[in-house]
Amino acid sequence: MRFITLLIISLLLVIVFGCEDKTQLLFNQPAHFPNLLIPENNPLTQKKVDLGERLFGDKNLSIDSTIMCSSCHKAHLALADSLSISPGVYGRLGERNSPSLINAAYAPLINRDGGVAKLDIQALIPIEDHNEMGISILKLSKRLIQDQSYVDAFGEAFGRGPDGFTIPRALASYVRSLVDASTPYDKYLGGQKDSLSPAAQRGLHLFNSEELACSSCHSGPLLTSFEFENNGLYTDYADRGRALISLREDDVGKFRIPSLRNVALTAPYMHDGSLATLDDVIAHYASGGQSHKNKSHLLKGFSLSADQHLDLLAFLEALTSERDFTKS
C-alpha cells in the first residue's frame, strides 16, 4: 500500500513539475569578459531564451498592440535605435535614447541612471512605462494567458504560466543570450594584431592616451566602467539622471557610462540622443563640454588633427560585432 501511495505521489510530481525545462544553458562566455552572474532563481536555459526572444518581437506586449521591444531595439542596429527618442504607444515620446542591449547583461545596475537593481525585473520599465508600452504587468499576464501557445511555452520554460515573475525573467534570459565578443578589437585582444587596421591601431593608441582619456571611463573589455558621470552635455539638465534615484545634487546630470561596443551602429548618441554622429561626439569631448558643477574632471578638452580624427573613428568602427543579430 505504501509503495502504491509513493508511486502515485511520484507520478503527480512528474505531471506537475516534469514539463519545466531545468537544463542549464551551456553559456559560452568570452574568456576575456568578466563572469556573468546568473540568478539562482532564474537559471539560463535555451527554452527561456527562445521564449524571451518571442516576447521581444511581440506587439501584444504593448497596451494597443503596436509596439514591441524590437521596435526600439532593432537587431540590425545592435539592438539600439536610430531615433533620438523612439516613439511608444499612441506616438508618445519619453526622454531617453534607446540603448544597445548587446552585453547589457553585465551591467550591475540597470538603466542609464542605474535605478533598477537587477536585469530580471528590468523589462517592467518599458512594458509598464506610460510612454513606451503602457500596460501593467498584471494586465499583460492576463492577456498572454489567453494564448495557449504562450501558456505552453511558459510552462516548459518555468513550470508555470505567464505572470509578473516569469515574463520579465524570460526577457532577461534573452538579453543574457546577447553576449558578444565578435569584434575586430576582440580578435586584436586575442593576439590577432592584424585584425585592426593601422589606422584603427593608431586610433586605439589615441583612445588610451592620457590626453584623450577615453579609456578612463570606457575601460576594460566591455569598454565601460559602469560608473555614473556627468559628461558636460548641458549646463542645465532637464533629465536629472542619477540624481532621480540617489536624490543627491552631486549626481545631477550623471548617467551610466555606456559601452562603446557597436558604437558605430548606435547613433544618435548621449542619454537623449542629442548628438547625431560620432563626429559630433568627438567634437563634444574635444571641446571639453559645457560647464557644470558635476562635470567629470577628466573632461579637459583636446585637439586632434584631421588624420587623428579619422584614426579614432577607425578604432570606434572596429568595435562593431561581426555576429549578425538579425539571426537567432
Partner 1 sequence: MTKYILFLTVVMVFFSCGDEEVTQVERLDFSYEFTIDGQPITLGETYTLNGSTVMFEVANYYIHGMRLANDEAGVIIANEASHLLAGVDQEASAMITDLSPTSVSKARIIIGVDEKLNAQSETDFTERAADDPLGLKDPAMHWNWNSGYKFIRFDGEVDTDGDGIVDTPIAYHIGSNPFSKTLELDTDITLDSGTNALNFSFDLNQFFSTVDFQLEVNWDTHTGNNLELAQLLLANLDNAISLSK
Which residues bind to partner 1, rule: CB under 8 A? 41, 111, 113, 115-118, 120-121, 124-125, 127-129, 136-139, 164-165, 168-169, 240, 243-245, 247
The distance of closest approach from Cβ of residue 170 to partner 1 in the complex, given in angstroms and rounded to an integer, is: 12
The distance of closest approach from Cβ of residue 136 to partner 1 in the complex, given in angstroms and rounded to an integer, is: 5
The distance of closest approach from Cβ of residue 138 to partner 1 in the complex, given in angstroms and rounded to an integer, is: 5
Q: Which residues contact 190 (CB under 8 A, 6 or more apart)?
A: 32
Q: Which residues contact 159 (CB under 8 A, 6 or more apart)?
A: 16, 17, 19, 20
Among residues 116 and 189, whose Cβ is nearest to partner 1? 116
The distance of closest approach from Cβ of residue 212 to partner 1 in the complex, given in angstroms and rounded to an integer, is: 33
Contact 242, 51 (CB under 8 A): no
Among residues 125 and 264, whose Cβ is nearest to partner 1? 125
Contact 318, 185 (CB under 8 A): yes
The distance of closest approach from Cβ of residue 127 to partner 1 in the complex, given in angstroms and rounded to an integer, is: 8
Among residues 157 and 265, whose Cβ is nearest to partner 1? 157
The distance of closest approach from Cβ of residue 109 to partner 1 in the complex, given in angstroms and rounded to an integer, is: 9
User: Dihedral angle at the C-alpha atoms of 79, 82, 88, 91, nearest 10 degrees?
Assistant: -160
The distance of closest approach from Cβ of residue 134 to partner 1 in the complex, given in angstroms and rounded to an integer, is: 12
Among residues 122 and 320, whose Cβ is nearest to partner 1? 122
Among residues 139 and 193, whose Cβ is nearest to partner 1? 139
Among residues 36 and 137, whose Cβ is nearest to partner 1? 137
Among residues 168 and 232, whose Cβ is nearest to partner 1? 168
